[in-house]
Every structure is written in C-alpha cells, then in structure tokens.
Structure 1
C-alpha cells in the first residue's frame, strides 16, 4: 500500500455527499492501516454502520438487524463449515446466526478495535464479524459472521481475564 492516508481520504470524500472531515482524520488509522486506503470509504461511514448495528442489536428487532446485512451473508459455523445465506435462509437461521453471544459482540463493536485488510474490509473479534464496502465512499454492511472465530475470541478473552487475576489458565 503506497497511498498516503490523506490522499485516500481525499478520494473517499470525493465520493461522499456529506463528510465528517475531523472525525475521519482523527480515526482513519486502525490496526492494519488506514481505513480509507484499505476499504475505499471513511471512518465516519464505518462508525455509522457500527452505530446502526449496535442499535439494531440492542433493539432486539429482527427486521432492523436484517436491514444492516449485505447479502449473501457468509456464515461460518462453530465447526468451520461455510454457507452463503440469502434472504430466506438468513430469516430461517436468524436465531442460530444471531444468538445472544453474537448480539453481545455486536453491541460492543468499537471502531478503534477494528482491523482492516486492503480490498477485503474491516473485521472485529478475530474475524468473527466482517464489514465490507460495496461502493466507493459508501457505508459498510455486515457480510460475514464467523462463529468459529467468535468462539476463539471468547476463549482468548477468558484466558486474558484469568491471567490478569493470576489464576491458572486451563488447557483448551
């Protein structure tokens, strides 16, 4: 990646009607690099998507949550099996995919804890939640839920908490 973040931001802003220049400049750099260079959109667009996802998760409203998805939704179960879900499949498997643990993870999304991968999007919780931009300057959508990664992230968090408390960490 040879682009300078400021150059990427200028390109991204050229594709947006409204801009939050101060927020974008202050929040463009995350793990993996500049949001604008890696994803072709701005930090403020990711923040808007995160806010909408958190609000939908907190509301408990299935329809509101489904509005935040990019379809097909790639779902990776706890055993690593992948399936691309369309509208009907997401609706039928909603309670499995969006269980209490995933909803809790969505409610805790924080832009500063996002990692970006050039041309692939931004992810959270060791890759358990992926947001992808489909239009330059546009708002990201949730496109991947990886249950296997979410389980690994939960295990890592438990081990970290136990380490801080000085308790022995059990073998997994």
Structure 2
C-alpha cells in the first residue's frame, strides 16, 4: 500500500500545523477574504513559531498528497483535518487515505449490516476476503462463496450487529497495514493513494476476545455498586 511519509512530530502538533496551513482554504463563507487571510496568518504564526521548518513541511505531507490525489472539496478537507487523529496516529499517514473516505465506507457498512443487505455489503469488500474463524483458522473467501452459503458463516448475526456500531472515533490505525476495530475483528485497507478503504478481514476469534474483554470490564464496573448495597 502506497502512503505518504510519516511526519516526525506528535499527532497533536501535526494536526495543528495542518489546520493552520489549511485555514485559508477551509474558512467559512461568513468572513471576508481579508478577515480570512488575517485570521489564517495569526494562527499560522502562533503555531509555526513553536515548530521547526522540517516539522511544518512534514505535517503537510500526508494530507496534502492525499488531497492532490483526490481533488477533494473543501468541506471534506475540513473533515479530514479535524478527524485525522485516532488511536495509533494520523489516519492519513498510516493508511494513505483520508478520514472522510473511511467515514463514507463506514456509513455504507453500517447501513448494509443493519439491513442485512448482502449485495451492498459485498460492494464494501475486497475479495478474496481473509476470514479467521473462532478457532483461529485462516482462509481466503472468494466472491462466489460469499454470494452463496459462505456469507452467513462469515457475517454471523453477532458480527453484523457489531458492524452496525462501527464509528470512526473507535478506529485504530497501523502504519502500512490499515485500520481495525474491536481488537482486529474488522480490518479496512485502501488499495490506492486517497482511495476508499475496503473491508479486507473478518476475524471471529478477535471478535470473541473483544466481547470477552468488554464483558470483564462491565463486570468490574458493576462490582463496586453491588458491594456498596
């Protein structure tokens, strides 16, 4: 998977630098152009003063390269800046695509899972799909198998229910590998710079482990309340 150079600065500093340098493009239409430029200059000067030149250049790389590949409209760029940081780092630097592309994919996946719409969900997959069953056995599932009986084996009711709750804020990214949810129960990867991520892995073993971990946390949280009765 092709990706931009990873910035050598903190995720927060990177996001702030990108926001400052993109202000002129993303500013709201309520302000005049002069006001926009003055506001952008003040924000830029305040942030850039605390960052070395190399860090500023690095902060631009990931999103700017992606935007060049996408020709994305201003509203999507604003979303990309605000939501670029998740667990594991910057979405743009780790995955080679933008937060808005992930959000569009997640919206479609949630809707398809809620409706149990096989055709719609198939459009969000990269096939062959890697499937790991609850015992850890791995196999590639082809499109023909998913269209037939294999779909229900991979996308069980519990997995579909989990997919209905996938949110961008809960995503974890891994550089050069993609993004995952629920301890790796679901993985998404973009196959080109700035492209839409596709669902590439369903891991039932990880899903089960995530459910067990969540159950243990809930039990621990309930115990003090019960002890206080």
Whether the 8 Å CA contact 1:41–1:139 is kept in 2: the answer is yes
TM-score, normalised relative to structure 2: 0.70
Note closer, same or farther for the CA distance 1:11–1:82 as it changes in structure 2 (3 Å cut): same
Given the alignment, which residue of 42, 47, 50 partners 2:98?
42
CA contact (8 A) 1:5 1:37 kept: no
Give 1:17 shift: 2.9
List aligned pairs for 1:80-95, cutoff 5 A: 80-91=136-147, 92-95=149-152
* RMSD, aligned CA: 1.3
CA contact (8 A) 2:6 2:93 kept: no
Aligned to 2:122: 66
Deviation at 1:105, TM superposition (A): 1.0
Structure 2, unaligned stretches of length 5 or more?
8-57, 225-229
Contact 2:80 2:98 in 1 (8 A): yes
Higher strand share: 1
| Counterpart for residue 33 of structure 2 | none
How far did residue 94 of structure 1 move? 0.6
Q: Deviations over 1:111-168 (max 9, x none)?
A: 011000111100000000000000110000001000000000000111111111017x
Asked whether 1:131 is paired with 2:185, we answer: no
Larger Rg: 1 or 2?
2
CA spacing shift, 1:64–1:2, aligned 2, 3 Å: closer
Matches within 5 A, 1:159-170: 159-166=216-223
Contact 1:123 1:130 in 2 (8 A): yes
Change (3 A) 1:136 1:152: same
Poorly superposed stretches of 4+, deviation over 6 Å: none
Is this contact kept in 2: 1:5–1:34, CA < 8 A? no
Matching residue of 2:21: none
In 1, Cα distance between the equivalents of 2:177 and 2:90?
13
After TM superposition, the score normalised by the length of structure 1 is: 0.93
Q: In the TM superposition, what whole-angstrom CA distance separates every residue of 1:27-66 from its partner, at most 9, and x where no partner exists?
A: 0011111000011100000000000100111112111111
The equivalent position to 2:153 in structure 1, one of 79, 87, 96, is 96
- What is the aligned counterpart of 1:18 among 43, 48, 72? 72
If asked which structure has higher relative contact order (CA below 8 Å, sep 6+), I would say 1
Contact 2:125–2:199 (CA under 8 A) maintained in structure 1? yes
Structure 1 residues without counterparts, runs of 5 or longer: 168-172
Deviation at 1:2?
4.1
